[in-house]
Amino acid sequence: MWKYADGADIACIEKINVLNENLDELKQALQDALDDAVLIGCSEDDVKEAFINLIKVLHSNYSAK
């Protein structure tokens, strides 16, 4: 699933574990935020769209190698 910028697979278990843990943490944070928003009365679709828009404007703080 994880690849380097050049398309090669990442084989290092430690790197894969870090990436997977980050993804799991993001999933839980997004789920919690979505649940809060729905409980407040927001539209689930609107909240998901806001998440997608946020992701689209993110940029790495590090230049590509």
First-last CA distance in the chain:
20
| pLDDT value, residue 63 | 77
pTM score of the predicted model: 0.84
For residues 63 and 65, what is the distance between their CA atoms, to the nearest angstrom? 6
Q: Mean pLDDT for each consecutive 10-residue tract of the chain (65 residues)?
A: 95 98 99 99 99 97 78
The helix/strand/coil state of 55 is helix
| pLDDT value, residue 15 | 98
Single-letter residue type at 58? L
| pLDDT value, residue 32 | 99
Structure tokens belonging to residue 12 = 């290092």
For residues 34 and 38, what is the distance between their CA atoms, to the nearest angstrom? 6
| pLDDT value, residue 58 | 96
